[in-house]
Chain A
Amino acid sequence: MTSEPQSSFRRFARDVDQLLRGGFTQEDQLKIGKIEVPVRTLVIASLVLGALYGCAMGIYSWTMRGGEGVIQVFASSVKVPLLFLLTLLVTFPSLYVSSALARSRLLVGDSLRLLLAAVAVNLALLASFGTVTAFFTLCTDSYPFMVVLNVAFFGVAGLVGLGFLRQALTRLFGEEASAQGVLPRETEEADGIPLMVKRRVPRPVSQRVFSVWLVIYGIVGAQMGWILRPFVGAPSLPFTWFRQQRESNFFAATFEALGKLFQ
Chain B
Amino acid sequence: MSAIAARLRASRLLGEVDSLLRGTGVHAVGGGRVPWVRIGLVLIVTGFAYGCVMGYFAGRPRQAFYSGLKVPLLLVVSTLICLPNYFMVNTVLGLRDDFAAAFRGVLSSQGTVAVVLAALAPLTALGYVSSSFYPFATVTNGVMFALASIAGQVTLARHYRPLIAKNPKHRVCLRGWLVLYVFVAIQLAWVLRPFIGAPRMRVRFLRHDAWGNAYVHVTDAVWQVLTGQ
Contacts of A50 in B (CB 8 A): none
**B87 contacts A by Cβ under 8 Å:** yes
Contacts of A127 in B (CB 8 A): 84, 88
Quick check: A140 and B84 within 8 Å, CB to CB? no
Bound-state Cα–Cα, A121 to B94, Å: 12
Contacts of B187 in A (CB 8 A): 135-136, 139
- Complex interface bits, A123-152 against B, C-beta within 8 A gives 1, otherwise 0: 011011111100110111110010000000
- Complex interface bits, B127-162 against A, C-beta within 8 A gives 1, otherwise 0: 000000000000000000000000000000000000
Quick check: A128 and B88 within 8 Å, CB to CB? yes
Quick check: A142 and B223 within 8 Å, CB to CB? no
The size of the chain B interface, using a CB distance under 8 A, is 28
**B178 contacts A by Cβ under 8 Å:** no
Contact of A128 among B84, B188, B211, B216 (CB under 8 A): B84
Contact of B92 among A129, A141, A145, A160 (CB under 8 A): A160
Contacts of A263 in B (CB 8 A): 223
The residue on A at minimum CB distance from B216 is: A142
Given contacts A21-B96, A139-B187, A139-B191, contact A132 B180 (CB under 8 A): yes
Contact of B184 among A128, A132, A160, A262 (CB under 8 A): A132
Of residues 164 through 181 on chain A, the ones whose CB sits less than 8 Å from some CB of chain B are 164
The residue on B at minimum CB distance from A135 is: B81
Contacts of A131 in B (CB 8 A): 80-85
**B212 contacts A by Cβ under 8 Å:** yes
Quick check: A135 and B216 within 8 Å, CB to CB? no
Expressed in whole angstroms, the minimum distance between the Cβ of A130 and any Cβ of chain B is: 7
Bound-state Cα–Cα, A17 to B184, Å: 27
Quick check: B216 and A125 within 8 Å, CB to CB? no
The residue on B at minimum CB distance from A149 is: B215
Contacts of A132 in B (CB 8 A): 81-82, 85, 180, 183-184
**A234 contacts B by Cβ under 8 Å:** no
Bound-state Cα–Cα, A17 to B96, Å: 10
Contacts of A138 in B (CB 8 A): 211
Of residues 84 through 101 on chain B, the ones whose CB sits less than 8 Å from some CB of chain A are 84-85, 87-89, 91-92, 94, 96
Quick check: B94 and A125 within 8 Å, CB to CB? no
Contacts of A129 in B (CB 8 A): 85
**B11 contacts A by Cβ under 8 Å:** no
Bound-state Cα–Cα, A129 to B219, Å: 23
Quick check: B184 and A124 within 8 Å, CB to CB? no
The 6 lowest CB-CB distance pairs between A and B, nearest first, are A128-B88, A128-B85, A140-B213, A128-B84, A142-B216, A20-B91
25 contacting pairs across A/B (C-beta < 8 A): A17-B91, A21-B91, A21-B96, A121-B92, A124-B88, A125-B85, A125-B89, A125-B92, A128-B84, A128-B89, A130-B84, A131-B80, A131-B82, A131-B85, A132-B180, A135-B81, A136-B213, A138-B211, A139-B191, A139-B213, A142-B216, A160-B89, A261-B216, A261-B219, A262-B222
